[in-house]
Amino acid sequence: MKVLYNDGHVGEIDDAAEELHVIRHTAAHILAQAIKRLYPEAKFAYGPATENGFYYDVDLGDTKINTEDFSALEAEMKKITKENLKIETFELSRDEAIKLMEERGETYKVEHIGDLDPAERITFYKQGEYIDMCVGPHLLYTKGVKAFKLTGVSGAYWKADKNNKMLTRVNGTAFATKDELEQHLKMLEEAEKRDHRKIGREMELFMMSDFGPGSPFWLPNGMAVRNALTDYWHEMMVKFNYEEVLTPQILSRSLWETSGHWDHYKENMYTTSVDEEDFAIKPMNCPGACLIYKNRPRSYRDLPLKLAEAGLDHRYEMKGALHGLFRVREFTQDDAHIFIRPDQITEQVADASHLITAYYAQFGFPYRVELSTRPENSMGSDEDWERAEQGLKDALESMGIDYVLNEGDGAFYGPKIDFHLTDCLGRSWQCGTIQLDFQLPHNFELEYVDRDGTKKQPIMIHRAGFGSFDRFIGILTEHYEGKFPVWLAPCQVKVLPVSEKSREYAHEVADALQAAGIRVKVDNRDEKIGYKIREARSLDRVPYMLIIGEKEVEAHNISVRDRSNETVQSTLDAFIAKVTKENDERLG
């Protein structure tokens, strides 16, 4: 594919991901041009290509754009592509760039130029009457964008700052071919069907309230799922030799100053005052783990010390960014902090990796691995960062795990390994993480007595597998479309009496199931059996339905219908043994 760079030269790229990025970047400009034609007073902010498409943030004054306007916008975009406008680039001095944008009424672009390094080149791209400040690259002609679709509209603060004006963000996607676009739109349609917020309402898993934005209310059915996942987590902690702890919710400002969070993370923290002293609700569990480590003297024989915590954390997220269980302000991390000697890095990183990959194998998730290195907003010495990054590389390479290097995306206190799982729709989710930290042990003056009698500083590994119980349940809900494996299902068996005559026996069956530790409900409503079956299958999504009629009462057995709609006769004891085995072995 030929592309136009901002220095004016035409280059060739043959990487599919880069080609798609250029197509989407060009599509963003076509969208802006279409908006300007239909809404001449529009003023533009940012309009980048993204991993899944593109968007443009625009100030429309008192005018509102909604999805009903998309057909007109898309028609104008198609018109622009058919015009086959040549795309050109040029460069202006800072003063010339400001003058041009002022003349065109682009106040956000003028402000953006003011934020740039004075030494930075100001480059523009032009297609027909439309001119946009941009670093490129772009296609050579607008006809190169052949397959696009607008996908949504939302609000977005200018510069992502809640103190600034709320702009309109128009989202879209684009692909190289119409077939690829069609496949993507089908995936989006399927994703909408699987939306965990919709399924959560239907199955009564959780709810949200304006009284606590971003804080899930777990309903009885959701708690059943959450408890089953938590039980699995407890078992895995025992299997991988962790000791469980629990740390306080509210801790003194001095602790967060010691940890570095007060300087590096305060904008995401909730703070309060107690006895005229500043406190913060914990956004992370690691400082508490450091205090537990420091509670008594430690020897090299105590290491590794593996402390696991299902810790409730709070982090401030902008209200507009909140999204079901995926982006919340209150969540429970499946956290762990492992204190080790330097000679244990490879062994313990490998052990943590085996735990995380065991989680994903349990649910059938494929995954990929990224190694993220030192960010700009970091603490610690160059030497410590080099040791930490090399330690993670050595561990991954010793295990033969392929990874991608993600420069500059580490935590402020250390580099990290991120595990990105892929769900049934091909979507990627970053969940598991392993972070190597020299900084917090230094800040908290943690020590252990080595075998030679000298005091040494331990290294700290931060490890999470699910990421958080909340978000992971949201992912599982969409992955399974609410049809959880038997061991996770909120209601594993629904007993459906056909008539009044079979209700007594239905309750006897339910009592026996409950006594065996199986989650069961009886549908006692005076509804036709067909209606009960449809609701249990499509709304409640139960793995098993037991249909109890007069024949079952007489034979003292049960009719079992599963999710495939196959119905078989069974004794109650045989069915209990089957479900118990599925629970014990966690089979889907």
Does the annotation count 86 as an active-site position?
no
* Given the residues 132, 334, 335, 384, the one annotated as active site: 335
* Given the residues 29, 138, 341, 462, the one annotated as active site: 462
Answer positive or negative: Cα dihedral of 552, 555, 557, 562: negative
* Given the residues 315, 456, 471, 541, the one annotated as active site: 315
Does the annotation count 491 as an active-site position?
no
Q: Select from 189, 224, 231, 222 the least CA-distant residue to 204.
A: 222
Q: How far apart are CA 566 and CA 543, in angstroms?
A: 12
Cα 16–Cα 175–Cα 172 angle in degrees, nearest 5: 130
Q: How far apart are CA 213 and CA 148, in angstroms?
A: 34
Half-sphere exposure of 389 (CA within 13 A, CB side): 20
Answer positive or negative: Cα dihedral of 97, 99, 100, 101: positive
Q: Radius of gyration of the chain from Cα atoms?
A: 29
Strand bridging mode 367-372 / 416-422: antiparallel
Q: Select from 464, 217, 205 the least CA-distant residue to 333.
A: 464
* Given the residues 21, 25, 226, 416, the one annotated as active site: 416
DSSP 442-511: HHTT--EE-TTS-EEPPEEEEEESSS-HHHHHHHHHHHHTT---TTT-SSSEEEEESSGGGHHHHHHHHH
- Read off the tokens for 115: 């934020």
Residue pair 171/48 in contact by the 8 Å Cβ criterion: no
Burial class (CB in 10 A: 0-12, 13-18, 19+), 274: exposed
Give the contacts of 577 (CB within 8 A, at least 6 positions apart). none
Q: How far apart are CA 456 and CA 41, in angstroms?
A: 65
Burial class (CB in 10 A: 0-12, 13-18, 19+), 127: buried
Q: How far apart are CA 259 and CA 254, in angstroms?
A: 9
* Given the residues 169, 253, 286, 423, the one annotated as active site: 286
Does the annotation count 335 as an active-site position?
yes
Q: Cα separations (Å) of 530 from 253, 496, 526, 545?
A: 60, 10, 12, 12
What is the CB neighbour count within 10 angstroms for residue 240?
Answer: 16
Residue type (1 letter), 460: M
Give the strand order in the sheet containing 250-252: 250-252, 277-281, 270-274
Q: Tokens 């069961």 correspond to what residue?
A: 520
Does the annotation count 337 as an active-site position?
yes
* Given the residues 337, 341, 479, 521, the one annotated as active site: 337
Q: Select from 436, 469, 551 the least CA-distant residue to 502.
A: 551
Q: Cα separations (Å) of 459 from 438, 454, 479?
A: 5, 16, 36
* Given the residues 333, 344, 435, 439, the one annotated as active site: 333
Does the annotation count 315 as an active-site position?
yes
As annotated, the active-site residues are: 286, 315, 333, 335, 337, 416, 462
